[in-house]
Structure 1
């Protein structure tokens, strides 16, 4: 079995010399309030007489260091703490509660702490404040308040103080000891107050001394020998008045009745949504505005959400006479514009008309962009669009402020584009005037420094510098030669014009080496009068080395005359030269030919390469990319974007349009609903249409066909790989109304709607859908398979207690079985957010007269009602009494590994620890509307 992270509870922890205390805690006052230990020192093998050392005790403490406090539960000023849980406080050191206890542990590892946590209810007779001359605040409890009801029972203080180590299930005793000594980040100590709190009530939590000597020291009272002779409690039962110093305090309030587990239990039997929910009657009998009256004409209007019904609800149609009359009114401005003699007419807008370039609506709505005609000729869709219009009108100042803030960024982008276009035109003109006329050799010298940064145009080749470096003339473009041969250098200033220079014959070097000449002696060479001009570099030229493969014996022995020469001189054959030639022949016969290869420059067209260069391209140039010019950049239209999810704004404006008849949904209901895309698309068209009109009115430089709002659902917090539910730009809509949002994703999300106080009080609850596994008669959720776990795409909330979650699932997928796609379906999972530990008891059901609580088999099911015999006794119970455990508590005496009631603080911590709750219900158990 794999190790898991667990909490180890310890009933007490002592460090240092406190472990030398020999006085056993008798859990009574019959023991001294201060202790001493005997210390013996051995120096140089000499035993010195023992010395008595008095240890600090509770009577020596005057204050508590606040830096030792690491957590309080509930946090200060909390107003929604669960009334069935125990307030507690945690300390950094694991031994703080027993640090000054003048005793060692007794039977069953029970050891009283020197401090306790008390939670009092502010009322008449209770006062917490400062007093003159005292360093600590003072808690004063007197009549009419009762100290017994406000303070815990000190006889059982050992049960509500423990230490904790975060470790592994495989930890041994030595491992836990090492953690106590060397891993402070894994250890804490904790004081619990087992008080039964009341809902909606304010409380003050106080850390106070548990012994009388500590109480007197905190109040500045002297300690007598009698006080130190016994370990008396700080207060006794039935005391009429108690005055206590307070080391630390904070305030909080409880919320409504019930904790997470209690609220989850209410969802175990979900209630169906009434059939009339989701439908709003719309009376169109007297529409006004010149439209024909149709008495008693009522059509059904739906909101944002549609309940998933057993039988789809019929959709009522709008009378054709009403639609025709409405079309005439909407088309009146265009009719007037067509006739210049008519006055212009102002009529209701044609929502979405600019996006489809439509100025007239028609019947029937089968024309191109039919969604525009459907939207504008159905009063229900025009209501949805009008809600979007209303939102823009109400928020116009905020929206315009955001739009103006976005404008400089768009203008800067367009300014950069214009500068790039200017740079490109200037560069092209400069190239045509100054670079293109250059000869290749001049161009090569000018661009020499940049050759290492340019790629050769041939695929698979390196840079131009690499190609030149591997060619016959690698030094031609290098710095030394360019410095010497620069156009205005000292050599060129003394050189003759090119027309007076003799050029090297354009014969391949290899061919010259194929024809060796006889040595020439006494050659007459005139004085140089200029530089030799190399007109071209042969593509077949090799390195300036002798090609050894041409030097065969026949070639060496062959001699030719020197023709076409004006050089005078003479030559003669000598015997030594003949001997030398024969030796060369013999040598060549004994060696293998050398094959020398070199790349040519024919694959690199420098002129073409620099003509295509665009150094001002806005794209990032990588070492392997090709630089290309951009000449088709168009200015960006200033279309401001508003990414806020508009479902929240719609719910704030018209909450009844989320799900008409929502008030009829009973508390603790869970139902499947689906989005009404016809309503949503009409609403989003109204938003964008009115925003375009507002931008035009404010003289904002924009395109009226821009889509300014695209997000309806709140997808913040959705998984990274979740599909986006943002609407496509309105100019791309080409389907009927309600089907344009699915032209990208192909399906609509399924929504789970829950009415419960759970998510209002626990907004961080985890919700997801897990695929079902197992047999059809014994299904269970598959939590471990991340591939089948679906987290919500979006979530929303509306008052008073409605929460909905959208999943990337269809009804057939989530329900499964014969009603779905034939699969096993999905479970809906609601899980409490794991976090810091909490302690307490469950609420339990009300106890009827004469009944006793049902016996439990697990400590996790322990409730407050298991501690009493009647409801009246429960109302008088102020604190948990360990000694009053009832027979209904589980008997674990036969299993030593189980916690046992009243053994010690570690056992009580394990019993009262509240584990995170996970609730699972299969989707096929959710009743459909109308069932």
Structure 2
């Protein structure tokens, strides 16, 4: 290259372009998604393995060849090889890069794709609309965050085989650079059909296992949408051996679990049970009064209409609370550790408080014994020495007087200026003898100790923590221990499922395989369970000398809201127990809409085991036959909690009441939807076209369109599952 400048010849130095021979590794941050995920099992053999990169230009960034029309070969590709004899993946310790070796008895030419078609298996996906007059290339350059580049491996997979998935170079010069070999000068491919033994550097790799032909659409079609079995969620409750005085022929209503069938009601406890329990509950009789400390009560009368009576005088709710206490005992070490993490330096502060209170009481005792009872004349004689004592103010010290002498060394260095009154300098003064009341106040050990202690506490416990201390002490002392109200965001439903799953959903074993049911939550169970959890946790923490605020409710979470959107993870299930209205029932403990039964979708079968990222959500019905506009966020509801019952039951709770979900007088209702993740694009050989996907294709985009697997979705109206009048066309797919 050359040119002229001011009529003089100008020589441009040669420019060297980076190519595949300059690359020996790949930044892991570039890999934003793999399909299947690393370690996956049961991967669909009808799909291709893929890897997505953050940079839309990465697959062609170091390509040394120009495009052939709309075909541009990438400098790297994705390969998938079975883990069998002759295939090894190891790390080159000298170069710090993984190496894949394929040798006998495995034939490399038989397991590796044809690099002549590498152009077809690398493309860019752009999410969004183009601006007016904008080309796709311009949109990708302007909005790179809306696009990803992707490599697809066209290898057809066999069932029940474990595979290595590897990103490797497509040019021999890139292969040699990665292996630390001398670089050639040709642009030959990294392998050909004539190569039966190959060693390749690996830029990125993972492993996965295929399933026995399990496909999402097949597993969805195997599901049966059913109404719940009769009595699901209920357990018979026998009190004949409880020691309660039971009238002849009297029975208890069933205990209803945390999940139950649509329309299940929690019947109130019989009056005879309340009357039998009332004199037995309280600190003096031995049976714990759940929530008594938060309610400020030590006993509960048999006719108490509020939550305290409902919780403590119903044997079923007491059993549920005791179950919560058992869960705490099983996890007491972890829960106590979580509470202590929030206590900070409160223990040290309370030791100081205890010492100060002891000192104040001792000083008060001495004051009462020796001074308070003295006559005025005797007291005047007692304080006479104090009248002669001078207060040692710093401003009257010898050192201060030397510094402030008018002709002293310090004054000589000060520039002359207008004289001012030295208000800050005052002489030492003796206490006057007539102000006996003020003098007595100075002698008060309560005031003196409290002031000193307050200054010291400020260095130990932050004001924000001290502000949480309860002001419940009534001993009249100005110095009280600092109390802590910890917040432990541990969800209790998974713990219940681990310890006693038969109470989370009684009758779960009766649910048939490959079933989908709609259930509802039981707020009474949740409130009683958490009351028992907090009562037992308070006892355990106090036994460990934890400075607990007795009115606190450390655990307010029952359902597991982790991983759910819309701020669900930060929303407790119940209010703090101290704020519960004594006139309300147990359902009044809940926040907002959760005080009523919420709809829960339960799935039993292999769908979520093989496809754990299945999207489960609800869509508002426009009418019994049609969906509302899903582009309106108000028409789509996502789970606010989820859970599992091993080995094959998963459930999802929604912020919608069962009445609203079923529809009818309240509106057209809602549909349940099960879908492959719409944001996770998948590819596979076209099932209805036996031709190779590359045959007749002009570009990688055309190949991607042929092999794209649209997400499968099935929808069903909630009324079909809630044992209400079904709507037309309730099941759709």
Return the TM-score normalized by structure 2. 0.65
State the match for 2:233 in structure 1: 278
State the match for 2:505 in structure 1: 659
Structure 1 residues 922, 149: CA separation in 2 closer, same or farther (over 3 Å shift)? Answer: farther
Q: Note the 1:191-202 alignment, pairs <5 A.
A: 191-198=151-158, 201-202=161-162
Q: Note the 1:801-880 alignment, pairs <5 A.
A: 801-817=648-664, 820-821=665-666, 823-829=667-673, 835=679, 838-841=681-684, 865-866=687-688
State the match for 2:483 in structure 1: 638
| Matching of residue 785 in structure 1 with residue 596 in structure 2 | no
Structure 1 residues 91, 284: CA separation in 2 closer, same or farther (over 3 Å shift)? Answer: closer
Structure 1: which 5+ residue stretches go unaligned?
1-39, 335-345, 419-481, 489-617, 620-630, 842-862, 869-879, 886-900
Structure 1 residues 255, 704: CA separation in 2 closer, same or farther (over 3 Å shift)? Answer: farther
Contact kept? 1:63, 1:136, Cα under 8 Å: no
| Matching of residue 87 in structure 1 with residue 87 in structure 2 | no
Q: Note the 1:147-546 alignment, pairs <5 A.
A: 147-163=108-124, 168-170=129-131, 175-176=135-136, 178=138, 190-198=150-158, 201-208=161-168, 210=170, 234-236=191-193, 241-246=196-201, 248-254=203-209, 262=217, 265-266=220-221, 269-285=224-240, 287=241, 300-309=254-263, 312=264, 320=272, 330=280, 334=284, 347-354=286-293, 365=302, 367-369=303-305, 371-404=307-340, 406=342
Contact kept? 2:86, 2:105, Cα under 8 Å: yes
Structure 2: which 5+ residue stretches go unaligned?
357-418, 426-462, 465-475, 727-733
| Matching of residue 676 in structure 1 with residue 522 in structure 2 | yes
Q: What is the CA-CA distance between 1:829 and the residue it aligns to?
A: 4.6
- Quick one: distance in 1 between partners of 2:50 and 2:219? 22
Pick from 904, 907, 926: which aligns with 2:702? 907
What CA deviation, in whole Å up to 9, does each residue of 1:844-868 have, x standing for no partner? Answer: xxxxxxxxxxxxxxxxxxx664356
| Matching of residue 771 in structure 1 with residue 710 in structure 2 | no
| Matching of residue 928 in structure 1 with residue 713 in structure 2 | no
What CA deviation, in whole Å up to 9, does each residue of 1:21-61 have, x standing for no partner? Answer: xxxxxxxxxxxxxxxxxxx867699999xxxx999999x94
Contact kept? 1:165, 1:186, Cα under 8 Å: yes
Q: Note the 1:511-660 alignment, pairs <5 A.
A: 638=483, 640-644=485-489, 645-660=491-506
Q: What is the CA-CA distance between 1:123 and the residue it aligns to?
A: 0.6
Q: What is the CA-CA distance between 1:677 and the residue it aligns to?
A: 2.6
Q: What is the CA-CA distance between 1:210 and the residue it aligns to?
A: 4.9
3-state SS, counterpart of residue 671 of structure 1: strand
Structure 1 residues 399, 181: CA separation in 2 closer, same or farther (over 3 Å shift)? Answer: closer
- Quick one: distance in 2 between partners of 1:698 and 1:206? 54
Contact kept? 1:713, 1:725, Cα under 8 Å: yes
Contact kept? 1:674, 1:750, Cα under 8 Å: yes
State the match for 2:442 in structure 1: none
- Quick one: distance in 2 between partners of 1:690 and 1:724? 19
Contact kept? 2:662, 2:724, Cα under 8 Å: no
Contact kept? 2:236, 2:254, Cα under 8 Å: yes
Q: What is the CA-CA distance between 1:389 and the residue it aligns to?
A: 1.8
Q: What is the CA-CA distance between 1:693 and the residue it aligns to?
A: 3.5
Return the TM-score normalized by structure 1. 0.53
- Quick one: distance in 2 between partners of 1:68 and 1:349? 57
Q: Which of 1 and 2 has greater Rg? A: 1
- Quick one: distance in 1 between partners of 2:281 and 2:62? 88
What CA deviation, in whole Å up to 9, does each residue of 1:198-247 have, x standing for no partner? Answer: 566432233455567877898899999xx97x97883327x7x3224335
What CA deviation, in whole Å up to 9, does each residue of 1:642-696 have, x standing for no partner? Answer: 3423334333332221111223334554433222233223222222333344455
| Matching of residue 710 in structure 1 with residue 556 in structure 2 | yes
Q: What is the CA-CA distance between 1:384 and the residue it aligns to?
A: 0.4
- What is the root-mean-square deviation in Å for CA atoms of aligned residues? 5.6
- Quick one: distance in 2 between partners of 1:166 and 1:804? 31
What CA deviation, in whole Å up to 9, does each residue of 1:326-378 have, x standing for no partner? Answer: 666x26985xxxxxxxxxxx64434444555666666xx4x235544444444
What CA deviation, in whole Å up to 9, does each residue of 1:527-565 have, x standing for no partner? Answer: xxxxxxxxxxxxxxxxxxxxxxxxxxxxxxxxxxxxxxx
- Quick one: distance in 2 between partners of 1:867 and 1:679? 55
- Quick one: distance in 1 between partners of 2:94 and 2:550? 76
Q: What is the CA-CA distance between 1:156 and the residue it aligns to?
A: 3.4
Structure 1 residues 296, 487: CA separation in 2 closer, same or farther (over 3 Å shift)? Answer: closer
- Quick one: distance in 2 between partners of 1:741 and 1:375? 12
- Quick one: distance in 2 between partners of 1:747 and 1:332? 28
* Count of residue pairs brought into register by the alignment: 608
Q: What is the CA-CA distance between 1:753 and the residue it aligns to?
A: 2.2
Q: What is the CA-CA distance between 1:483 and the residue it aligns to?
A: 7.7
Contact kept? 2:191, 2:198, Cα under 8 Å: no
